[in-house]
Structure 1
Amino acid sequence: MYNLMILRSFPDKKYSIAVVGFGPEDSHFVIETRYHYGVDKYEIGTGFGEFVGGTVESAGQGWCCTREPGKTAGGSTKVFAFVLDPDGYSTELFDSRQSSEPLRQIALRVTDIDPAIKFYQR
């Protein structure tokens, strides 16, 4: 049975997300759908957000860091970093002591979050 986390909105950052998976996102693989306010179209290949996996400790080991390891703004305890793969796709690395899953999340950009939620629930 899938698990849908309640839609979370970030009006100050102009996006909303919904997460579909088989358990909590901190310990299970999930798909995150992300709607950026006002975006009504993505070209093939531009709707991919990032992979989420690995460990933050690997950020300094030859990866091209686009965000050095640190906590999120607003006091979250989550420590993460962003690196680019050889093709320029973003990968979020995080402190993954809570799970042994090597890949925990794929983030997809969507133009309408409600049909995306229904699609991934099926």
Structure 2
Amino acid sequence: MWVYPGGDGSIRGYRKGEAAPRDAAGLFVGAKSYLQFNLELEQALSGKWSVVLFGDALGTAASLRDYPSTDTLYAAGLGLRYQTIIGPVRLEYGRNLNPRPLDPSGTLLFSIGYPF
């Protein structure tokens, strides 16, 4: 099974699927294994609003012989959350700290629900 990490549920400096390993042509090939670390510090501003500071790390390997990783990506960012009865409405910006040549410098993400 190939995995294509990236987005609001893994490393927030990338859009969904765009943190996966790339081949020599720059195309996404997917990961056979990955390690993920996420850290969030959330501060309430009021009963419904909060701000979050986060750091994400992701290590991926396109084949199992390269376990645990061949690529290690890092992102840090800031977000704003509004609590609803179905979960938080989240607006977050993740800045890539070590982007690969074809990667974005950062990504603005909008989502509903808890991140992990």
* Structure with the higher helix share, 1 or 2: 1
Structure of higher RCO (CA pairs closer than 8 Å, 6+ residues apart):
1
Q: Establish whether TM, by shorter chain, passes 0.5.
A: no
TM-score by length of 2: 0.30
TM-score by length of 1: 0.29
